[in-house]
Structure 1
């Protein structure tokens, strides 16, 4: 691979000019800049990122803080995997790369821990990272608050944070839940149960609020025995559905706060001899890949997973360039009607 000195010789400019083309392009006239970039592309020249970070005190790396502790299943969730792909693609479009920081929620383990977020902030500054993207794993709110107050550009996904250079991106979770439950009411259901995510999780709490609002708007008083807490994963959906089916008056419809839990509920209903949607209507949330291929295909609330990445990248770039942060970004959530709710048979 060519060096910066070779590029400079071929273009008839100084090494310092080549450096400015890649680090401070606005300081180089357009003709020279285009000539250097053309030759660099022809020779497959890539600036040394470590040296670039040292000279500019800023790298093209964005740190990802995400607890991947093997004892916690969050990092394996299909929705989060899709979101991460969208984020990586959106940052790449701005010339930035995503660097996962080794994390753990266990303060007893060696290395940086979410129990001590100062270590991550120091790591970010030491490596001159452009900013941080924060993904909540369920119990990280206190650590995220410390990140938000650090002055490092931070964007959190699905958890509200406030700080001098911090913002967050989320979906209209309450609105999506309202649409799902209103749809079930419109199909004639009044005994509608819900399987929530973990209590205290912000998207889960918002979806529960939307569920209750939709029922009250329809003149149906929410029942405590029609609410079961899950953890967004399939097994908890199965357990919640089994609990509902054991009631003296089981529900005729269930809104699950994730597609994974909806699939678990579907399996429990089948095991009990019920037919979906003939005996039980079912709606999920997320619109992950399995929603469209399970039988019957799952009615769900789709989140804009690519939109999360675009919005997060835009917010990070705004803070890096000094024009942000703007307020939080709330993306629309859209009801996708398939077979599991019974609408196509009405």
Structure 2
């Protein structure tokens, strides 16, 4: 591996000048900087990142905390996969790496904070897992910049990014009503999660706005995954007065519901119309095509990256971002 001395010799400069190019490039003239960078690329020189971190007190790494626990394979959910891609891409474009932090097993309240300090992370991004984790609060109350996805956190350097869950749910119910449906059920996400609670709220608010009666038996809780949507739809079909439309608070649940309708010998949308939420890739592939509320998945990652980097660089704490949703109409509503 090429050394800094070899690079300096080839460029006719001192090792200190090479070091400045990689740590404080603005103090080196453009011609010299270009010569050193091009030569470094040619000979395969890589700067010593450990020394660079010590010199700048920056690791250029952002931690990701997302504990879905062993019972729920959250990492495979297509919605979150797209968010992670957007986050990683946005951070990489700004010169930062993403480090995933495993769940601490020691059970101490400051376990995540100690992990962040041990790795000298510049900032942290949380993804809401729906459970109150006491390890997150000491981190949020520290000097470490923190951005949460879908869950507000309280602290001096904290903000969050979420979607317009209430507005999206209201638009889903409004769309179903516009197609002539009057008995509209919902399969919710977990009530302990912000998206689950807000999408239920939007459903109830729009029912009231349209003058439709709220029937508690038409509200069935799911968990954002296929199997819960399937089970919830079967329960709704067993009612004495089953619904003629269902708003599922997540696309995977809507796909599970679609399978249950088909298994019962019914048709979508002729017998039951369906609307989901997320606009995952599968939504466009299942027959007859799932009408859904699209979230700005790449926007989640971009907004989170921009917010955490702003705080890392000493800017003001950004205000929370609420990203808009958009209705994508496909065959499941006719």
Normalising by the smaller structure, the TM-score range is over 0.9
TM-score, normalised to structure 2, is 0.95
Q: Helix, strand or coil for the counterpart of 1:169?
A: strand
The aligned residue for residue 333 of structure 2 is: 341
Moved more, 140-149 or 182-191: 140-149
- Structure 1: gaps (5+ residues): none
5 Å-filtered alignment, 1:50-129, equals: 50-67=50-67, 69-103=69-103, 109=105, 115-129=107-121
Q: Helix, strand or coil for the counterpart of 1:285?
A: strand
Note the C-alpha offset of 1:2.
2.2
**Root-mean-square deviation over aligned CA pairs:** 1.6
Q: Helix, strand or coil for the counterpart of 1:98?
A: strand
Q: Does 1:328 align with 2:320?
A: yes
Q: Deviations over 1:9-56 (max 9, x none)?
A: 222322222222222223333333333222222333222222322332
Q: Helix, strand or coil for the counterpart of 1:251?
A: coil
Q: Tell me how far apart the structure 1 counterparts of residues 8 and 98 of structure 2 sit (CA, whole Å).
A: 30
Q: Tell me how far apart the structure 2 counterparts of residues 212 and 312 of structure 1 sit (CA, whole Å).
A: 30
The aligned residue for residue 282 of structure 1 is: 274
5 Å-filtered alignment, 1:302-321, equals: 302-321=294-313
Q: Tell me how far apart the structure 1 counterparts of residues 155 and 296 of structure 2 sit (CA, whole Å).
A: 25
Q: Tell me how far apart the structure 1 counterparts of residues 132 and 73 of structure 2 sit (CA, whole Å).
A: 14
Q: Helix, strand or coil for the counterpart of 1:301?
A: strand
Q: Tell me how far apart the structure 2 counterparts of residues 23 and 68 of structure 1 sit (CA, whole Å).
A: 38
Moved more, 254-263 or 20-29: 20-29
Aligned counterpart in structure 1 of residue 152 of structure 2, from 149, 157, 160: 160
Q: Helix, strand or coil for the counterpart of 2:220?
A: strand
Matched-pair contact (CA < 8 Å) for 1:141–1:159? no
Q: Does 1:34 align with 2:34?
A: yes
The aligned residue for residue 47 of structure 1 is: 47
Matched-pair contact (CA < 8 Å) for 1:315–1:324? no
Q: Tell me how far apart the structure 2 counterparts of residues 29 and 153 of structure 1 sit (CA, whole Å).
A: 33
Matched-pair contact (CA < 8 Å) for 1:172–1:331? yes
- Structure 2: gaps (5+ residues): none
Matched-pair contact (CA < 8 Å) for 2:59–2:120? yes
The aligned residue for residue 12 of structure 2 is: 12
Identify if the C-alpha distance between structure 1 residues 249 and 154 changes in structure 2 by more than 3 Å, giving closer, same or farther: same
Note the C-alpha offset of 1:266.
0.7
Q: Deviations over 1:127-185 (max 9, x none)?
A: 22111111122214544333211110111111111321111111111111111111011
Q: Does 1:256 align with 2:273?
A: no
Q: Deviations over 1:224-260 (max 9, x none)?
A: 1111111001111111111111111111000001001
Note the C-alpha offset of 1:117.
4.7
**Residues matched between the structures, number:** 334
TM-score, normalised to structure 1, is 0.92
Matched-pair contact (CA < 8 Å) for 1:134–1:157? yes
Aligned counterpart in structure 2 of residue 215 of structure 1, from 200, 203, 207: 207
Identify if the C-alpha distance between structure 1 residues 242 and 68 changes in structure 2 by more than 3 Å, giving closer, same or farther: closer
Q: Tell me how far apart the structure 1 counterparts of residues 133 and 115 of structure 2 sit (CA, whole Å).
A: 20
Q: Tell me how far apart the structure 2 counterparts of residues 143 and 183 of structure 1 sit (CA, whole Å).
A: 41
Identify if the C-alpha distance between structure 1 residues 41 and 149 changes in structure 2 by more than 3 Å, giving closer, same or farther: same
Identify if the C-alpha distance between structure 1 residues 26 and 122 changes in structure 2 by more than 3 Å, giving closer, same or farther: farther
Identify if the C-alpha distance between structure 1 residues 27 and 260 changes in structure 2 by more than 3 Å, giving closer, same or farther: same
